[in-house]
Amino acid sequence: MATWNINSLKARLERLLAWLETAAPDVVCLQELKCATADVPTEALAEAGYATAAWGTGRWNGVAILSRVGLEDVRTGIAGQPAFAEAIEPRAISATCGPVRVQSLYLPNGRDVDDPHFPYKLAFLEALAADVAADAAGDLPFAALGDYNICPTDADIWDVDEWPGTTHVTAPERAALAAVEAAGLADVYPRALKYDRPFTFWDYRNLDFPKNRGMRIDLALANPAFAKAATDAYVDRNERKGKGASDHAPLVIDLDL
DNA sequence: ATGCCGAAGTTACTTCGA
């Protein structure tokens, strides 16, 4: 099982297909497709062995679930999902893949604490907390995976004092995230493949990746049945290397089900 | 080696991301 903000499905397709072959995940949650549903390369993914459920509207946002173990009961969006600029954005999709149910999430960035995008982010999290409650309490292994655009603690950013903006680390965002977890989901904390902290995002600018100026903002929030089945979790930082990389690395979770 | 931002709509520049 994996979650990965690929920052454009079209631009990342070759790397995605190569990664699917080497990492061989059964289920992958993708975010930031940056293409419309009709433009999702479902045939190429099918040739790689994966069924695809996707929701995208164009150049921004977009989420998908890839699965080679079944893909049933697909649902787009979340209950009570708030709109932004009068649009319901493609930021959530969920499906049952064999023995697990997963939700692929791309939370709003927030932009700035004074920007309308910030209360939108908090409202989205509030709706999410209610949306996941039933699955969180259920017996079926369930996880809400994706780019939450929040560092849960100060340890989840290279240096909180250097963070030039104010979003991603504020108390209201962390409280809203805690409310999602309070619905019955636990943060599946991954191990780092290098250095001591499992960052999942490094900005393209300022040599942030070579200097390991990263953030852990891609999370897997799991219900007890899912968390109990997790035997390992890590961030595949090798996928952040080289030309044509996404600015996020995949978060991979091994499950024994 | 991990290397100084990238994607996409539109067409020279803009918006967005975290």
**Amino acid A243: pLDDT:** 87
Q: What is the pLDDT of residues A91-120, one digit of tens each?
A: 999 999 999 999 999 999 999 998 999 999
Residue A244 sits in a domain whose CATH number is: 3.60.10.10
- If you search the block for the tokens 């939370």, which residue do you land on? A107
Q: What is the pLDDT of residues A135-157, one digit of tens each?
A: 999 999 999 999 999 999 999 99
Q: Is the pLDDT of residue A165 over 70?
A: no
Average pLDDT, chain A: 95
Number of domains in chain A: 1
User: Which ranges constitute the DSSP H helices of chain A?
Assistant: 9-23, 42-47, 117-131, 133-137, 171-182, 224-229
Burial code of A62-86, b = ≥16 C-beta within 10 A, e = fewer?
Answer: bbbbbbbeebeeebbbbeebbebee
Residues near strand B (C-beta below 7 A) are A 5, 7-11, 32, 34-35, 58-60, 108-109, 111-112, 117, 147, 149, 164-165, 167-168, 201, 203-207, 209-212, 215, 217, 241-245, 247
**Amino acid A148: pLDDT:** 97
Tokens of A68: 């080679």
Q: What is the pLDDT of residues A228-253, one digit of tens each?
A: 999 999 999 999 999 899 999 999 99
* Strands A92-97, A72-76: pairing kind: antiparallel
Give the count of beta carbons closer than 10 Å to the beta carbon of residue A18: 12
Q: Is the pLDDT of residue A206 over 70?
A: yes
Give the span between the Cα atoms of A20 and A7, in whole angstroms: 16
Closest CA to A148 of A202, A214, A224, A219: A219
Tell me the residue range of the domain where A187 lies.
2-255
Query: How long is the CA A57 to C1' B6 vector, in angstroms?
Result: 20
**Amino acid A255: pLDDT:** 98
Task: Tell me phi and psi for residue A143, to 5 degrees.
Answer: -145, 145
**Amino acid A185: pLDDT:** 98
Cβ neighbours for A184, distance < 8 A, ≥ 6 positions apart: A132, A133, A136, A137, A223, A224
**Amino acid A164: pLDDT:** 62
Give the span between the Cα atoms of A12 and A224, in whole angstroms: 33
Nucleotide nearest residue A240, measured CA to C1': B2
